[in-house]
Amino acid sequence: MSRVLFVRGITGFGIAPFATAGETIRYAILAEKYGIDGGFWLGEGLHGRSATALLSAIAVQTKKIELGTAIIGVYNRHPAIMAMEAATIDELSNGRFNLGIGVNVSSLVMHGLAKNATAATEVRPYQAMKDAVEITSRLLSGERVVYRGEAFSLPEPGSALDFHGFKLVRKHIPIFIGSRSPKTLELAGRKTDGVILSRSMSASGSYVTDSIKQISEGARKSGRSLEEVIIASNLTFSIDKDSEAARNYTKKVVALYIADPTLTAKDLILQHSKVKPEDLDNVKRAFERGGILEASKVVTPEMIDELTVSGSPDECIEKLERLGKLGVNVPIAFDLLGPNPDEAIELIAKRVIPTIRTK
């Protein structure tokens, strides 16, 4: 995404599928064929496929579609490594890469860096994000960097990207922050090109409104306008001509995000949705009894309404337009797409994008 002024409202639509490596590459090629204009993004699950490795493969098999990470965790790679990978993919794609970074609380817990989701603040995630933004942005601008941070450092005599004479394709590779933390969202407003709102809550208008307030405050403090910050949003998204099939397809993901405290805090769901606390408890108990399949059986229609964008094309368009009016520029269909991903990509390109871009 080039650094330009954005009016509030939807300016593009992206997809971020989780699939096999071969399927993921095929989806990227298909998305480019259909003119998906908000980019092809990949996230990373705990011990899953490398987003940067897959995007490198996609970069050499596509020519136009924007590419990005949504997101990779700062505790999984030193910021200097992230900068190296970003510059390499940008070279492979001839200037189409966007670096999205975040904390990834599940990695903190599973790697033993935090005892549980609540204790994640003990490892100072804000400081880690601050250091990561500083180091990556300076390295990607071609600077030799000496930096002493609270989480990450580059000591004397400093470091610079040096690929045996390779020069950066661009002097500025866009950096996005993905976070639910108000303080980190404020950092994004001050320092980065964009924000990727958390998938677990970003279908909620209340959550989006609160998040954009924090981003706007950060932009104000740095003398910027909110219009200079791209607001992207990972969404639990499922589209199909059969509305019920699309909605039902989201149940496992909704159950996982409710049951796993590293993915979504219960208080956020209660604060920003109409989901009842007893229904949340039912999902968690079912998960403890029988895992994700059992938990998905007790996901309520209200949970799907509140936590996803799913259904027929018209139903998805209606909710996306509401989010666009609140300030979301680039909704991203994260993981699911729909019961039939190929058909979903075509529906997004032919039905959804033309409508949300013209209203």
CA distance 158 to 142: 12
pLDDT in tens, 65-115: 999 999 999 988 999 999 999 999 999 999 999 999 998 656 665 656 556
Residue 3 has a pLDDT of 39
- CATH superfamily for 14-249+311-358 is Luciferase-like domain (3.20.20.30)
- Are 28 and 65 contacting, i.e. CB atoms less than 8 angstroms apart? yes
The length of the chain is: 359
Output the pLDDT for position 4. 40
What's the pLDDT score for residue 123? 60
Helix axes 21-34, 51-59, angle to 10 degrees: 50
Confirm if 82 and 132 have CB atoms less than 8 A apart.
yes
Q: How many angstroms separate the first and last alpha carbons of the chain?
A: 22
> In 3D, which of 296, 107, 320, 298 has the Cα closest to residue 202?
320
Cβ within 8 Å of residue 270, ≥6 positions away: 277, 280
pLDDT at 310: 98
Q: At residue 12, what is the residue type?
A: G
Q: Is the pTM of this model over 0.75?
A: yes
What is the full DSSP assignment across 101-116?
EE--HHHHHHTTSSSS
Closest CA to 337 of 28, 7, 55: 28
Q: Which amino acid is at 26?
A: R
Instruction: Please tell me the predicted confidence (pLDDT) of residue 58.
Output: 98
Residue 1: the pLDDT is 46
CA-angle at 238, arms to 27 and 274, nearest 5°: 150
The segments of the chain whose pLDDT lies below 70 read 1-8, 104-123, 358-359
Domain ranges of the chain: 14-249+311-358, 251-307
Rounded distance between C-alpha atoms, residue 76 and residue 34, angstroms: 34
Using a 10 angstrom Cβ sphere, with 0-12 exposed, 13-18 middle and 19 or more buried, the burial of residue 323 is buried
CA separation for the pair 169, 218 (Å, rounded): 29
Q: CB within 8 A of 8, min separation 6: which ones?
A: 226, 227, 324, 325, 327, 329
355: left (phi over 0), alpha (psi -120 to 50) or beta: alpha
Tokens at residue 327, please? 């300030």
